Amino acid sequence: MITEDFSQSLSIGASAPDFSLRATDGEWCTLESFSAQRWLVLQFTCNHCPYVLGSDDRLSALVAGFEGASIAWVGICSNDSERYPQDSFERMQERAPTLPYRYLHDPSQEVAQAYGAQVTPEFFIFERGAADWTLRWHGTIDDSPRDVSAATTPYLQPALQRLISGDDLARTTTPVQGCSIKWR
């Protein structure tokens, strides 16, 4: 699925909706949990989507490339785990040690709805301000998240690099590609 319809998504400049979600290590996380960082890269993801699995290695390399930067990397799984048991909290816990980000569970799907997330993987970059987190960019990792051999244009890395450097973005959104979030 490829979509450029962001009508349900947060608008650039919007504040991040707060949440309280359990991480795979059992701790509860809110936006405040990441306030020591200047940037928040929030990804809606899951365990089984071929687009997520196809981009895992690229995302791991990207996270490693920004080591030392003031970035909190967070993944949220909002899929219906009753219909898709591979996305259950227990399966998330099994997968978490291989991931370069905190992995949070959204069983009510309220967080995905609040952000207007549509697919996995779908990324939002927020900048921490004095009072809240402000959405600066929304999109996908590159032009072919499922198949690395077909990827020609990175999106997430250059956007994050420009934001950290204080440069203007040429684009604040990109089309998103992935599996639709599995709603109840």
Q: Each residue of 87-130: pLDDT tens digit? A: 999 999 999 999 999 999 999 999 999 999 999 999 999 999 98
Q: Report pLDDT digits (tens) over 50-71.
A: 999 999 999 999 999 999 999 9
pTM: 0.95
- Distances 74 to 43, 55, 104 between C-alpha atoms, Å: 6, 15, 7
Is the distance from CB of 78 to CB of 181 less than 8 angstroms?
yes
Instruction: For domain 2-8+19-180, say whether CATH 3.40.50.2300 is its number.
Output: no
The domain limits of the chain are 2-8+19-180
**Please, what is the average pLDDT of the chain?**
95
